């Protein structure tokens, strides 16, 4: 967007899809940025830099992908 504002996009979604925008980042000071999350992510609103925000999003996504679904055993109904 500019030298002091950025947007992180999720490239899994097509251009024009509202889910593509992950967050908007604005410079607050030389050592702090503020994040407006466009998704419900449990991540901080302030970071040291835009790169820190990007790395935080990447770590969050990796943690979500790292676990496999827990299999639910299929048992026959109890005999009466």
Task: Give tens-digit pLDDT for 24-75.
Answer: 999 999 999 999 999 999 999 999 999 999 999 999 988 776 567 777 778 7
Question: Which secondary structure element, helix H or strand E, spans residue 27, and what is its range?
Answer: strand 21-29
Domain hosting residue 52, numbered range:
5-65
| Long-range contacts at 20-29 (CB < 8 A, ≥ 24 apart) | 22/57, 23/53, 23/57, 25/50, 25/53
77 is a domain residue: no
Please tell me the pTM assigned to this model. 0.74
pLDDT, residue 67, reads 66
Q: How far apart are CA 47 and CA 44, in angstroms?
A: 7
76 is a domain residue: no
14 is a domain residue: yes
Q: What is the pLDDT of residues 8-18, one digit of tens each?
A: 999 989 999 99
Q: How far apart are CA 28 and CA 30, in angstroms?
A: 7
Q: State the greatest distance between any 2 C-alpha atoms of the chain, in Å, as a whole number.
A: 71
pLDDT band at 77 (very low <50, low <70, confident <90, very high): confident
């Amino acid at each position: 967007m500019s030298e002091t504002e950025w947007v992180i996009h999720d490239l899994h979604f097509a251009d024009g899809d509202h889910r593509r925008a992950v967050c908007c980042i604005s410079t607050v000071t030389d050592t702090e940025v503020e994040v407006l999350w466009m998704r419900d992510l449990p991540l901080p609103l302030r970071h040291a830099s835009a790169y820190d925000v990007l790395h935080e999003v990447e770590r969050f996504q990796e943690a979500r992908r790292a676990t496999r679904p827990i299999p639910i055993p299929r048992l026959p109904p109890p005999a009466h």
